[in-house]
């Protein structure tokens, strides 16, 4: 079985061709065109701009990928149907519907979050059930229990900002570029993680939910104080070392909060495997902390390669192949992008 996958939910136009060989997934072709340089100029993603760029790049990328124009050797098409930016999603969805209709191939609608979860299956070693996943991206922070393929339960999620959103907003407060996650993790390397005392939100509560907006407010307060103190020397500016120190302190607060909740969830669920997925899992400090927590708890640990942590089409292909194996296809004439699609709903 060979699937063509399309991902356009946010600011990456991505395509992949993935096939199955026994229980393995073979990544035959993958291509990704990032819009980050464009969105960096505006300090964030402007949905209409993202959609226009997806429209301009999708078909040329498909040709670059070398997919025959008649879809020969492609058995099915998978597309991200949500959640995400609706105008961006629609570009991928409408393209996939058209290809499926013209090529007469089955169409599979994939939930972007199910795609992130599936990224843990890309490598040779596969997680075994029950699986406890920490999904941390620009829009989501969730602890998810998968009991079997397609049988999932969200144990906890963020009440306000997602982890990636917090990284992006704090980076802005510190005058760093977009996206903030990579910038902060780079600056944190030179900083002291105990330089600032920042809160660890909701750790006292007996649940698996998160809240990162209070942490961002605490950073804003500290940044205000720093600016005032430094203003005595140089009006309203930071010292470079302040930025490094705040980056390290903030990152440490996020990692510690995520790991504490994750540890409670492991104790309760006793999973066979644990997976770390989503854009924020490209963060080195988080990857190390997650791997060492897994080791301490004796749970098998799966963290995809960095390029499969952030948005990509290979994960959508793998999730699509899993759905296809269960016969879960959709009608190319009626599929609609759903910006608020939830895990566990139609596009699992
Ligand atoms: O999964 P993703 O690529 O897109 C969404 O589905 O949202 O995640 C993007 C998020 C952004 O907020 C970005 O700042 C964050 O992942 N991110 C990171 C790192 N690389 C990307 N956060 C922390 N450290 C990183 N190295
Ligand atoms: Zn994502």
The per-residue pLDDT for range 127-176, each reduced to its tens digit, is 999 999 999 999 999 999 999 988 999 999 999 999 999 999 999 999 99
Q: Given pLDDT bands bounded at 50, 70 and 90, which one contains residue 348?
A: very low
pLDDT of residue 234: 57
- With 0-12 / 13-18 / 19 or more C-beta atoms within 10 angstroms meaning exposed / middle / buried, residue 228 is exposed
The per-residue pLDDT for range 250-279, each reduced to its tens digit, is 999 999 999 999 999 999 999 999 999 999
Q: Is residue 164 lining ligand 1, measured as CB closer than 6 Å?
A: yes
Residue 9 CA: nearest ligand 1 atom is 6
- Say if residues 170 and 179 touch (Cβ distance below 8 Å): no
pLDDT beyond 80 at 24: yes
Over residues 89-117, the mean pLDDT reads 98
The CA distance from 296 to 290, in Å, is: 10
Q: Is residue 168 lining ligand 1, measured as CB closer than 6 Å?
A: yes
Question: Read out DSSP for 304-337?
Answer: --GGGTSS-SHHHHHHHHHHHHTT--B-TTT---
Q: Is residue 179 lining ligand 1, measured as CB closer than 6 Å?
A: yes
Q: What percent of the chain has pLDDT over 90?
A: 90
pLDDT of residue 139: 94
The per-residue pLDDT for range 231-246, each reduced to its tens digit, is 665 555 678 899 999 9
Over residues 203-221, the mean pLDDT reads 94
Residue 116 CA: nearest ligand 1 atom is 1
Residue 179 CA: nearest ligand 1 atom is 14
CA–centroid distance, 75 to ligand 2, in Å, is 25
């Amino acid at each position: 079985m060979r699937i063509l996958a399309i991902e356009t939910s946010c600011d990456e136009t991505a395509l992949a061709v993935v096939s199955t060989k026994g229980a393995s997934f073979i990544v035959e072709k993958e291509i990704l065109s990032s819009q980050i340089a464009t969105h960096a100029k505006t300090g964030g993603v402007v949905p209409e701009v993202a959609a226009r760029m997806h429209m301009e790049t999708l078909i040329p990328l498909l040709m670059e990928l070398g997919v025959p124009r008649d879809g020969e050797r492609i058995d099915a098409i998978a597309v991200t149907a949500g959640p995400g930016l609706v105008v961006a999603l629609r570009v991928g969805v409408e393209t996939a519907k058209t290809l499926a209709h013209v090529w007469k191939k089955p169409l599979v609608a994939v939930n972007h979050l199910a795609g992130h979860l599936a990224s843990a299956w890309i490598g040779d070693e596969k997680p075994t059930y029950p699986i406890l996943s920490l999904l941390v991206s620009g829009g989501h922070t969730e602890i998810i229990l998968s009991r079997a393929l397609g049988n999932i339960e969200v144990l906890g999620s963020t009440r306000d900002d997602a982890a990636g959103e917090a990284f992006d907003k704090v980076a802005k407060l510190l005058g760093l570029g977009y996206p903030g996650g990579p910038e902060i993790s780079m600056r944190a390397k030179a900083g002291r993680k105990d330089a600032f005392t920042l809160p660890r939100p909701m750790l006292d509560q007996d649940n698996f939910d998160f809240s990162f907006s209070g942490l961002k407010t605490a950073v804003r307060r500290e940044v205000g104080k720093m600016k005032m103190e430094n203003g005595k020397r140089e009006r309203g500016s930071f010292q470079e070392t302040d930025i490094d120190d705040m980056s390290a302190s903030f990152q440490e607060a996020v990692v510690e909060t995520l790991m504490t909740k994750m540890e409670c969830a492991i104790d309760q669920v006793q999973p066979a495997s644990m997976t770390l997925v989503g854009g924020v899992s490209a963060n080195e400090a988080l990857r190390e902390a997650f791997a060492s927590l897994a080791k301490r708890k004796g749970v098998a640990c799966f963290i995809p390669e960095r390029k499969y942590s952030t948005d990509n089409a290979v994960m959508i292909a793998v999730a699509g192949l899993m759905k296809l194996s269960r016969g879960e296809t959709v009608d190319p004439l009626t599929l609609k992008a759903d910006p608020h699609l939830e895990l566990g709903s139609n596009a699992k």
